[in-house]
Amino acid sequence: MEITKMVPNVRKGLVVVITGYGKGKTTTALGIALRACGHHLRTSIIQFMKGDLYAGEWEGVKKLNCKVELIPTGKGFCGIEGNPYPFKEHRENAQEAIQLAHQKMESGEFDILILDEINNALHLHLVDLEQVLEIIRRKPPEMHLVLTGRDAHPEVIELADTVSEIREIKHAYRKGIDPQPGIDY
């Protein structure tokens, strides 16, 4: 069987929002990075809320034979029981991640920029709405921008080209089953 490679008539960088309360927002973004790898696209992933607990994607992306970088910038989920860091530190980390996002956009080195959990960071006031809207507006025309996390702001949704909401129907955690490596982290 012959495989046909599709090429768009016009290349346009999309703004994609993956939101909702179901499991799989980061997993979807990582799937985009994997797919992009198959097209020789260069991807930068900045994780806004993750960084204090190991996640399998940190080692997984290193094993891909393509240009995918993953930068955890956070100190875990702000306000979640057991997270020892004060709000001020979470906000400082998120502000550094915003600056890093601008650097990655302006560098010209990447085809895709994934801002993992930026919607949560916005909802928790770690970043400001105008900062997120500015990233969307200043995105290079051919760069794809993916924003993940619960509680996507209506103005972010309005500016996006594609929005998917992941809804939880059932989750093993609700049955008392611990998060599982490779599935949950």
123 within domain boundaries: yes
Dig out the tokens for 115 from the structure.
């801002």
Q: What is the pTM of this model?
A: 0.92
Encode pLDDT of 71-82 as tens digits. 999 877 776 667
Residue with tokens 């994609």: 16
Q: How far is CA 52 from the centre of its chain?
A: 16
Regarding predicted confidence, which is higher, 23 or 5? 23
- Model confidence at 185, in pLDDT bands (50, 70, 90)? confident
Q: Can you give the residue range of the structural domain that contains 27?
A: 15-166
* Amino acid letter, residue 151: D
8 within domain boundaries: no
Q: What is the pLDDT of residue 103?
A: 98
182 within domain boundaries: no
Is residue 83 scored above 80 in pLDDT?
Answer: no
172 within domain boundaries: no
CB 67 within 8 A of CB 42: yes
178 within domain boundaries: no
117 within domain boundaries: yes
- CATH at 53: 3.40.50.300
Encode pLDDT of 148-170 as tens digits. 999 999 999 999 999 999 999 99
- Model confidence at 2, in pLDDT bands (50, 70, 90)? confident
Regarding predicted confidence, which is higher, 138 or 9? 138
144 within domain boundaries: yes
Domain count for the chain = 1
Q: What is the pLDDT of residue 81?
A: 65
177 within domain boundaries: no
Q: What is the pLDDT of residue 79?
A: 67
Phi, psi dihedral angles at 16 (to 5 degrees): -120, 130
Q: How far is CA 113 from the centre of its chain?
A: 8
| Overall average pLDDT of the 81-107 stretch | 91
